Structure 1
């Protein structure tokens, strides 16, 4: 499974010439997932939408695990060029990754668990590692990227549940039980007076980068 994207694909010497590409199959599966969710994707459904039999897809990929991996590889696309000072570069990287996940609601689910890792996914890690400042160990550099990616994933997973929506949903509870939650009441009142809601992505990203800056400064 691990070498699905990397091992050379044997060309069949007998039988009909392959009529599909892995990209066409992935695109058909993406269209289903975008419209109906990842649970609706199956080898049978994708084959039917393409006008082929389920068995014909096995010429191109072993099963659904690899199909979902191919979908994610197509959905992520290669990372955009990231240049400039490390803090600005990592901000651009995280913003681009958030945009990539936001384009497909199923992408977060598809990127968990044991699965083949494709060139695009590795390229995203490579791009972030390249722009990290010097002074960090290899383990710290990998952990830094994991922390940044985890923040992006957390915010992407909250899509459709923004802070302002949460505040509205809590309005009745806070109004009727304010004495039980004074800190919540105070925070919501401050947001109402001064704004600043829906800033968790930038706020959290800024604090992560602040921490990296402090760590790097300690090594100088």
Structure 2
């Protein structure tokens, strides 16, 4: 096994130990000064204020008033720190309360978008290869629960969630720091479209028609995924 593979395997084991192992007997030695939650929250605050790239073991230790070496008692390294940050950043999903699966699934995706857009740095962590923790798996559990009883296989239900998550995260990336990306792009392109409208008539029309409907990619995409599932179910009910 290559050295990089061994490091990756060790990182996965470290994340699993932090997120999935129940606390056991108290360790020997001094009582820990902090909890893992406090460490994660300190890292989240830094990411909220300055972005993910600003989060280092040293910066987290300084915010807690501890030494960098002391921090390793709680998290072995950056991979494990990222894992506990993601768990704290997203939080558990809110129940939809809708009886119709279409509405409930739409609510699920909109809720996910709200969590991610509030902390766009978390999108980077979601899209990296990683071992999901209990909170992230609860999002899967919640989404799968909505589709229970539909004529879909387990793999198909996971694919539906993957499509929704991928769409939501792509929209958050596009929205991050721009607010309304289509309006921003239109402002940048306005002089070009004004002088070259005959060369790009379809682009000009697309940007200038139905102004009130721009920047609704989130709901449009969610709706199309759900419509696709609905169409598949209709085919199978024939």
**TM superposition score category, shorter chain reference:** over 0.9
Q: How far apart are residue 109 of structure 1 and its match?
A: 0.7
CA contact (8 A) 1:93 1:128 kept: yes
Structure 2 residue 94 is matched with structure 1 residue 80:
yes
Alignment match, 2:174: 158
Alignment match, 2:157: 141
RMSD, matched Cα: 1.5
Secondary structure in structure 2 of the residue aligned to 1:87: helix
Secondary structure in structure 2 of the residue aligned to 1:80: coil
Provide the rounded CA distance (Å) in 1 between the counterparts of 2:66 and 2:227.
53
Of the three residues 169, 174, 199, the one matched with 2:216 is 199
Alignment match, 2:206: 187
Of the three residues 224, 227, 230, the one matched with 1:210 is 227
TM-score by length of 1: 0.94
Q: How far apart are residue 12 of structure 1 and its match?
A: 5.0
Alignment match, 2:9: none
Alignment match, 1:19: 33
Q: How far apart are residue 11 of structure 1 and its match?
A: 4.7
Q: Which runs of 5+ in 2 are unaligned?
A: 1-11
Structure 2 residue 144 is matched with structure 1 residue 125:
no
Secondary structure in structure 1 of the residue aligned to 2:96: coil
Q: Could you say which structure has the higher helix fraction?
A: 2
The answer to which of 2-11 and 197-206 deviates more is 2-11
TM-score by length of 2: 0.87
Q: Which runs of 5+ in 1 are unaligned?
A: none
Equivalences, count: 218
Alignment match, 1:46: 60
Q: How far apart are residue 29 of structure 1 and its match?
A: 0.5
CA contact (8 A) 1:66 1:115 kept: no
Residues 64 and 9 of structure 1: is their aligned pair in 2 closer, same or farther, counting only changes over 3 Å?
A: farther
Of the three residues 176, 182, 185, the one matched with 2:195 is 176
Secondary structure in structure 1 of the residue aligned to 2:213: coil
Deviation readout 1:138-163 (Å, 9 max, x if unpaired): 11111011011111111111112522
Q: How far apart are residue 115 of structure 1 and its match?
A: 2.4
